[in-house]
Amino acid sequence: MAQRKTESGFPVKPVYDQSDLPGDSDKRVGRPGEYPYTRGVYPTMYTSRPWTMRQYAGFGTATESNARYHQLLEHGTMGLSVAFDLPTQMGYDSDDPVAHGEVGKVGVAIDSLADMKTLFDGIPLDKVSTSMTINAPGSVLLLLYQLVAEEAGIPGSALNGTIQNDILKEYIARGTYIFPPKPSLRLVADTFAYCRREVPKWNTISISGYHMAEAGATPVQEIAFTLANGVDYVRAAIAAGLAVDDFAPRLSFFFVARTTLLEEVAKFRAARRIWARLMREEFGAQDPKSMMLRFHTQTAGVQLTAQQPEVNLVRVAVQGLGAVLGGTQSLHTNSYDEAIALPTEKAARLALRTQQVLAYETDLTATVDPFAGSYVVEAMTDEIETEALALMERVASYGSSVDAIEAGFQKNEIETSAYRVAQEIDSGSRVVVGLNRYTIAEEEPYEPLRVDPAIEAAQAKRLAAIRESRDEAAVQAALAEVRSAAAGTENVLYPMREALRAYATVGEVCNALREVWGVYHPVERF
């Protein structure tokens, strides 16, 4: 029988013992809440309170998504995670010809302050934590959120949440970029500086390995490329004049949790250790919070199957277990039907119940880091750390993550891994239950949640009414200020905020930046 290997390609031994650990193992593992944070970023972890339970949701109109958010909060969700539709992610309004056919499909359509008010109507923004999965226009959506809170009498200092705002992984894995890398990094640094002054409890970036993993990255590639991107963000902020301890405590990360539980736990531990050492030794961070790798986890959407979708309930439970054993700060569990369509209300509730069972019916929260000292997990942690550091060195050999991105390095490495996995599934050497083994002749009927195609016309009508009622001269003057700031060195978020306050649309603000910074067109390589 062939020896099993991890997702990253390491042989898995049938038996591990003390000889698999280095002599300084105790020092490398450390204590919970202490450098190098291998065992978690807080001393008590879940023994004092569980992780934040989030559910990623958003579809159709702001009204529909608002209703889903209220349902999730009623069912015990602790934090909201907003999914935006593709036009919003790309900085286009719903009535833009480019947006045709995509409005409200993979998330909620947000075109203006009016939509954002509707999206969060009746939700106490000073009491919930909101995560927004938005990158190129991330700062625009954050400003809209702040303006909604401001109108409700809630100051920026009371807001708690995260914007993904991770543009580098877009060039590597997803493609929802707008501007070229250098002005994109400038916008990220401006957001860091703005939030420090205006929204101090906000996590200004969620540096994401999740989407690279969904594109096919191995666990080693996931953390190596994510942390290498993190290094570029830190350098960009320092180059913009920010002190490392002024912004680094608000950096956060976003990883996947696969079904390969042991390796995933080791991956999270290795990532914390690498980041702590980087921040202290390379960037001279003094604040312990600057060295803590805090992360959100989402279960692996790419591992869900449309065949026998109920089996996904088991997959998600195992993946969620790995995230918790790995020390995540917040967790989203996918709904079992997401390989087919947008989740139904029942499926979303079951996904949340999965987390609640883990938190309240198991003994996971009784002790901190239960896998500490496990021969296999500690050995895997060391292996992943060593290989991830070597891969980060390969990225650095190009000069920076941006230089490696422009050379196509990360994308090529991920595509090679994805192709290998696809071959293994096709050959049957990698078992996917219900897909290439243990199949059934007939599937039970399933009625997916469908988005009404009339949403696009309704959004266009709503936009027309907003443009008709607003002070057009004030909007154009505000957009001119945005262009002026983008062409100079002023923090662009302040004029962007005033343009949005005057009911400039998301597309109009992004277009003002496009006019100055241009758009990114990757070089085709054959």
From the list 237, 85, 232, the residue with the least C-alpha distance to 169 is 232
- Tell me what the mean pLDDT of segment 260-271 comes to: 98
Q: What is the reported pLDDT for 79?
A: 82
How many Å apart are CA 163 and CA 104, to the nearest integer? 20
For residues 61-69, average pLDDT: 90
Closest CA to 268 of 222, 333, 301, 213: 222
Q: How far does Cα 116 stand from its chain's mean position?
A: 20
CB 90 within 8 A of CB 106: no
- C-alpha 430/C-alpha 438 separation (Å) is 13
Instruction: Give the alpha-carbon dihedral of 436, 437, 441, 442, to 10 degrees.
Output: -70
**Coil, strand, or helix at residue 241?**
coil
CA distance 171 to 481: 28
Instruction: Indicate the pLDDT class of residue 451, thresholds 50, 70 and 90.
Output: low
- Confidence bin at 81 (pLDDT 50/70/90): confident
Report, as an integer, the average pLDDT of 108-125. Answer: 96
Which pair of structure tokens corresponds to residue 469? 């009622």
Query: What is the pTM (predicted TM-score) of this model?
Result: 0.93
Q: Is 22 exposed, middle or buried (0-12, 13-18, 19+ CB in 10 A)?
A: exposed
pLDDT tens digit string along 209-227?
999 999 999 999 999 999 9
Of 305, 327, 328, the C-alpha closest to 316 is: 305
> Cα separation of 68 and 104, whole Å?
14
Judged on CB neighbours under 10 Å (0-12, 13-18, 19+), 514 is middle
Least confident range from 18-27, 258-267, 481-490: namely 18-27
- Taking only the tens place, the pLDDT of each residue in 29-54 is 999 999 999 999 999 999 999 999 98
pLDDT band at 525 (very low <50, low <70, confident <90, very high): low
pLDDT digits (tens, 9 = 90+) for 393-414: 999 999 999 999 999 999 999 9
The 10 Å Cβ neighbour count of residue 505 is 28
Q: Show the DSSP H helices in 152-260 as ranges.
A: 168-169, 181-198, 210-214, 219-239, 244-247
CA contacts within 13 A on the Cβ side of 33:
7
Compute and round to an integer the Cα radius of gyration of the chain.
Answer: 23
How many other CB atoms sit within 10 Å of the CB of residue 366? 9
Question: Angle at CA 342, nearest 5°, toward 336 and 348?
Answer: 50
Give 52's strand partners. Answer: 330
What is d(CA 205, CA 426) in angstroms, rounded to the nearest whole number? 37
Residue 328 to residue 260: CA distance in whole angstroms? 16
Token pair of 43 as six digits: 């001393």
d(CA 33, CA 382): 19
- 101 phi/psi in degrees, rounded to 5: 85, -5
- Cα gap 198→114, rounded to integer Å: 22
Helix (H) or strand (E) holding 320: helix 311-325
Question: 4-13, 21-30, 89-98, 135-144 — which is least confidently predicted?
Answer: 21-30
What does 415-430 look like in DSSP terms, one character per residue?
HHHHHHHHHHHHHTSS
> What single letter denotes the amino acid at residue 95?
D
Task: Check if the beta carbon of residue 50 is closer than 8 Å to that of residue 468.
Answer: no
* Cα–Cα distance, 297 to 326 (Å, whole number): 10
CB atoms within 10 A of CB 408: 16
Amino acid making up residue 169? K
Buried b or exposed e, range 413-451, using 16+ CB within 10 angstroms: bbeebbeeeeeeeeeeeeebebebeeeeeeeeeeeebeb
Q: Long-range CB contacts (< 8 A, 24+ apart) of 489-493? A: 491/190, 491/193, 491/194, 492/139, 492/187, 492/190, 493/139, 493/143, 493/190, 493/191, 493/194
Question: Is the Cβ–Cβ distance between 320 and 53 less than 8 Å?
Answer: no
Residue 344 binned pLDDT confidence (cut-offs 50, 70, 90): confident
Contact call for residues 108 and 65 (beta carbons, < 8 A): yes
Residue 321: per-residue pLDDT: 98
DSSP state letter for 337? T
Alpha carbon distance 12, 2 (integer Å): 11
How much is the average pLDDT of 467-476? 98
- The β-bridge relationship of strands 251-257 and 295-299 is parallel
Residue 82 pairs in a beta bridge with 57, 132
Surface-to-core class of residue 59, CB atoms within 10 Å of its CB (0-12 exposed, 13-18 middle, 19+ buried)? buried
What is the rounded CA–CA span in Å between residue 208 and residue 255? 6
- The pLDDT of residue 345 is above 90: no
